[in-house]
Amino acid sequence: MKLKFIFLFVCLLSASAICQAQSQQVGNLMKSDFEKFYALLKQKEFDKAVNYVSEDYLKAGLFSKEQMKNLLKSNFDNWETLPDLKVTFKDVNVLPPKKLIQNGDKTFGVLEAVMHIEMTITGNYDQEEIETTLSVIEAIGKGRHKVGNVVKKDGSTTLALTDKRLVAGIYNPTSKNVRFAMAEIGLSYTFQKFLPKEIVAEMKTQL
């Protein structure tokens, strides 16, 4: 009887260790795949980047793939329409999910992606105009944006900016793929359609 108890205890420990290892593996896969997704966005390869967007998100938001591609482009490449503004997307720091939620046959988690951005504004602006611009940027970001160094040179001002974005990662064990849905203000109802309530609650500050 004592040996049987020890055997069961060892089996439980082994099962727990396997589950933890699998969870860590999925979390790391979410992190590395988001880095690939971001690299494509940074390189403006939107035809490839859109394949990383969750199809469940597209269905819930009634987006076609082409519409989502154009939306990604507007967020990462529409700056060229503003001749006085140059935006450069630099590195990203990604934190894997703190916890994973199993729902049906899929695994869900929330990543924190801190995107580093450099904005250069052409023109001679005084300090008051620069401070107004900074306050507008931070207000638009709804707590996501944080302004760092501001460098003024003759005829231009360069701002270092971070955008801390919450991202839902969705792992499908059949395809072994991870797909994503980046938080956007006003999309709480849409996210509730395809994500577990625990994931939506974790992202609510940016929805």
CA-atom Rg of the chain in angstroms: 21
Side-chain-side CA neighbours of residue 154 (13 Å): 0
pLDDT for position 79: 63
Is residue 193 scored above 90 in pLDDT?
Answer: yes
The answer to whether the CB of 139 falls within 8 A of the CB of 121 is no
Name the nearest CA neighbour of 120 among 90, 91, 147, 86.
86
Q: How far apart are CA 167 and CA 20, in angstroms?
A: 22
Task: Specify the pLDDT at position 19.
Answer: 41
Say if residues 33 and 176 touch (Cβ distance below 8 Å). no
Q: Which amino acid is at 57?
A: Y
8 A C-beta contact, residue 109 and residue 169 = yes
| Spatial contact of 117 and 89, defined as CB atoms under 8 Å apart | yes
| Residue 91 token pair | 């590195």
CA dist., res. 33 & res. 177, Å (int): 9
pLDDT digits (tens, 9 = 90+) for 18-54: 445 466 899 999 999 999 999 999 999 999 999 999 9
Q: Tokens 């359609």: give the residue.
A: 193
Q: How far apart are CA 130 and CA 37, in angstroms?
A: 32
pTM of the model: 0.84
How many whole angstroms separate alpha carbon 186 and alpha carbon 189? 8
| Confidence at residue 68, expressed as pLDDT on a 0 to 100 scale | 95
Beta bridge partners of 30: none
pLDDT, position 154: 81
For residue range 126-167, what is the model confidence (pLDDT) as tens digits? Answer: 778 777 877 777 776 667 888 888 888 888 888 898 999 999
| Closest C-alpha to 115, from 143, 90, 150 | 90
| Cα separation of the two ends of the chain | 55
